Amino acid sequence: MRLNILTAAILTSGLAMFATSANAGMTSDRNGNVGYDSYDECVMAVKEGSAKFYTPYTYQNPMRRAGETSVAKMSLSEVMIPQSVVSNDNLRTSDYEAGACDMGVGQSNGRYGVSGVLVGKYVPFASDMPVNVYMDRNGNPVRVTMQQCDNHFGSNFPTPVVSEVKAPKAQLAIQEERSMEAVIIETKRTIRPTQYQVKEVIIAPSDQIQRMNTTTGTRVAVRGADGRLVYVGRKADAEAIRNTEINQTYPVIRVPDIDADMNDMDMDE
């Protein structure tokens, strides 16, 4: 029995220590709102689903400042942060799809921030939190406050949390392997007063080459980019593409019809 009691006491003590450790970086005010010691702790709580988002408990009407000509009411997720603010504050996103984790501040410019015990802590704000968005004369957002109380954030725009769907993912370099073949076509070209016979080698993916049996042997056709079949001669000898670097879908190598250069290719029809 003593062993069981001792074990239970140790287990209870361990659970209490674990709970204390898990909440060591979190502070609560008397209204149940919470703040974390660091931005990363706040973000982790938001992404784990354990964060309690800030709920205002006072009421104030919007109050414009110099240069602000209108106020729009919307949810935090509908606010787009100006690119100048994103750049100046080194923010990782320009929206609030995942909400915000902003440093709590106190009273200034006739409006409060968060409760005193949360000043200096990182407070989680939900993406659907109603906010006031103050606009300049061109309709650009210049400042955001909490809609119910008009309380301000740590700066004109609270610090956003990067949405999971926007987090950078590892990119895999996938190289598709395609078997390449060479086929030839004979063309007659006239450069007055002499007529020349020219043989061209076309290198194309094997899956775009079709073969047809004819009375004179197997003919080869290449399907072009437009889907049409381009009839050509016979399959070229492997020697035709030795040491050839393929750098596009249909590279064409023009080969002069000179016997000395063609001895190894058996291109006669």
Structural domain span for residue 195: 180-262
Integer Cα distance of 136 and 70 in angstroms: 7
For the segment 99-125, what is each residue's pLDDT rounded down to a tens digit? 999 999 999 999 999 999 999 999 999
Indicate whether 34 and 161 sit together in one domain. yes
Q: Which of 140, 165, 190 is the last residue of a domain?
A: 165
Total domains in the chain come to 2
Residue 17 belongs to some domain of the structure: no
Average pLDDT, the chain: 75
For the segment 149-208, what is each residue's pLDDT rounded down to a tens digit? 999 999 999 999 998 655 555 555 545 555 656 665 555 556 666 666 655 666 666 666
Question: What pLDDT is recorded for position 210?
Answer: 73
Indicate whether 46 and 159 sit together in one domain. yes
Indicate whether 161 and 204 sit together in one domain. no
Indicate whether 95 and 213 sit together in one domain. no
Indicate whether 229 and 124 sit together in one domain. no
Indicate whether 139 and 69 sit together in one domain. yes
Question: What pLDDT is recorded for position 184?
Answer: 59
Indicate whether 66 and 143 sit together in one domain. yes
Residues 144 and 156 sit within 8 Å (Cβ to Cβ):
yes
Indicate whether 137 and 38 sit together in one domain. yes
For the segment 5-46, what is each residue's pLDDT rounded down to a tens digit? 444 444 444 444 444 444 558 999 999 999 999 999 999 999
Indicate whether 106 and 29 sit together in one domain. yes
Give the residue among 236, 237, 207 at the shortest CA–CA distance from 222: 207
Indicate whether 109 and 238 sit together in one domain. no
Residues 15 and 7 sit within 8 Å (Cβ to Cβ):
no
Residue 230 belongs to some domain of the structure: yes
Residue 12 belongs to some domain of the structure: no
Indicate whether 42 and 113 sit together in one domain. yes
Residue 203 belongs to some domain of the structure: yes
Residue 252 belongs to some domain of the structure: yes
Give the confidence band of 211 by pLDDT, cuts at 50, 70, 90: confident
Indicate whether 66 and 161 sit together in one domain. yes
Alpha carbon separation from 116 to 34, 98, 112, 142 (Å, rounded):
11, 26, 10, 26
